[in-house]
Amino acid sequence: MKKHFKTNNFNNLQNINGKKEMSNTINIKNKRAFFDFEILDRYDAGIQLCGTEIKSIRQGRVSLVDTYCMFYNRELWTKGMNIAEYSYGTYNNHIPTRERKLLLKKKELRKLERKIKESGLTIVPLRLFINDNGLAKLEIALAKGKKEYDKRETIKQKDTSREMDRIKKRY
């Protein structure tokens, strides 16, 4: 059975049965995290947003470049995430670089906090996306910092794989 869609808003889709489905087009990645860190474990966390922040996220005006996560009073917070001001916002616009609370289950928070204290790992955001229910989520990872020679090794591997792909295309 085919699904027929009619559009209501710029991001909402509605099928024949009247159920709303969100178009999942927002996927903002932190490419630097994959280069600087070795990813060990991944989690999807909700973000506590205020005001016009979700509208800016839906426009794709987010930067995860210098973002990191830290624990404060047994809660996980993200610092350095830049969500640009909403272009149609008024005096009620949000502060672009404020700290935002990440929403995880208590069990996951305790596990992350224990691993960070024990083995010197860190938590880095990998990507920001909007799930099927229209909620903004941040994929975070438990990561270990790479040494300089590890970074050179990943660059070497990428170059060799590109070269192999070029050779395969020729033949």
Give the whole-angstrom CA distance, residue 142 versus residue 82: 21
What pLDDT band is residue 146 in, cutting at 50, 70 and 90?
A: confident
29 contacts: CB under 8 Å, gap ≥ 6: 64, 126, 127
Question: Are residues 168 and 160 in contact, defined by beta-carbon separation less than 8 angstroms?
Answer: no
Query: Which segment, 21-30, 67-76, 150-159, is predicted with the most confidence on average?
Result: 67-76
Q: Give the model confidence (pLDDT) of 77-129 as tens digits.
A: 999 999 998 888 888 888 888 999 999 999 999 999 999 988 879 999 999 99
CATH architecture label of 26-158: Beta Barrel (2.40)
The answer to whether residue 8 scores a pLDDT higher than 50 is no
Q: Which of 119, 126, 114, 108 is nearest to 69 (CA)?
A: 126
- Amino acid identity, position 9: N
Q: Residues with Cβ < 8 Å from 54, sequence gap 6 or more?
A: 136
* pLDDT above 90 coverage of the chain, percent: 43
Tell me what the mean pLDDT of segment 39-51 comes to: 92
CA distance 79 to 164: 40
Would strands 122-130 and 136-145 be described as parallel, antiparallel, or unpaired? Answer: antiparallel
CB atoms under 10 Å from CB of 82, counted, come to 15
- Residue-wise pLDDT for 153-165, tens only, equals 888 888 999 999 9
Domain ranges of the chain: 26-158
Q: Band of the pLDDT at 5, cuts 50, 70, 90?
A: very low
